[in-house]
Amino acid sequence: MMVRRDRPAGTPTEQGIAPHIPVLLSEVVAALAPLDGEIYIDATFGAGGYTRAVLDAADCRVLAIDRDPHAAARAEKLGAEFPGRLTFVGAPFGTLDDVVATQGLGPIDGVMLDIGVSSMQLDEPGRGFSFQADGPLDMRMSQSGPSAADVVNSESDETIANILYLLGEERRSRAIARAIVAARAESPIETTKALADIVTRVLGRQPDGRHPATRTFQALRIYVNDELGELARGLSAAERCLKPGGRLVIVTFHSLEDRIAKRFLAQRAGKESRGSRHLPETSIKLKLPSFRILNPRPLTPSKGELEVNPRARSARLRAAVRTDAPPWPADETQPGLPSI
């Protein structure tokens, strides 16, 4: 499972759920390098762990964005601690440049993107993100649009299999899809337990101790929320609104996300491979680099952080600095998005 960030260790949540810990917090702040008087975007606000750290680090302002309606109350509470320095907007982070324009802000000094589901969402059974406790099969971050239950009860077995294979890297996707279609013919699949039980019957106990439904739940959540498409849109939006010298910091939690971030930065930094003597160079090479990569190898959590927060084990941080080159056309996003 993936975790994003949250409030400082030892602080209870509103629901009494176990405290959450910001992932790679010091590394994120160091990469962003906040300065007095500047404006930063926390495009995946969650509970505001990164926002708090940035506001503490400099006398700056933060524009916080999150499509989860539950985030607004947490932002209001945090904003009261930093009067006039925190603005929250409920929106998908793929539209962050539109949010900047609506807020009447100029070029931005830094953007933080922390991709994936938050630990709060995972830990609340009513959100339907996890198989650890029974709840409605929902998984919608924005709590609008089709839910995971809608997908498993209406899509064809071929579509379900493609979702599980491409977004969850589930090798037995077709067998699981057939079992889902057979089960829903008897009665609709409406709860997380019902779906987890179906997958468990197909896969049985896993030799590595992982729950059999882990990949299935991951795939459905990514599909329902269009997380990879949102990441691609968010990266391009950040490119458009960052000023020269502005910093982009991306924290990912699995290979599909990291691959998209890595390819985007490599492409925008002019690191794509050149054509051979038989093939001309692509138009990519004719564009000026819009980013300079700060860390060619992603930063990962220390042993000490993993001891405190095991959910951080798959986190990867990539960072880059915006050049003064024009942004690339919006329709020329990086390759690598799976097509369902």
Angstrom distances, CA of residue 120 to CA of 45, 141, 289: 12, 11, 38
Do residues 67 and 46 touch, judged by C-beta distance below 8 A? Answer: no
Domain ranges of the chain: 1-65+82-137+225-258+316-340, 143-224
Q: Which pTM was predicted?
A: 0.86
User: 47-63 in b/e burial notation, b at 16+ Cβ within 10 A?
Assistant: bbbbbbbbbebbebbbb
- The Cα–Cα gap between 8 and 47 comes to 10
pLDDT along the chain (340 residues), means of 10: 36 43 92 98 94 98 94 95 98 96 96 78 59 86 89 97 96 98 97 95 89 93 93 97 98 93 95 54 73 97 92 93 93 64
Q: Which class is domain 1-65+82-137+225-258+316-340?
A: alpha beta
Taking only the tens place, the pLDDT of each residue in 80-114 is: 999 999 999 999 999 999 999 999 998 999 999 99
Q: Any idea which architecture 143-224 has in CATH? A: Orthogonal Bundle (1.10)
Angle among Cα 37, 41, 45 to the nearest 5 degrees reads 130
| Nearest of 244, 230, 318 to residue 288 by alpha carbon | 244
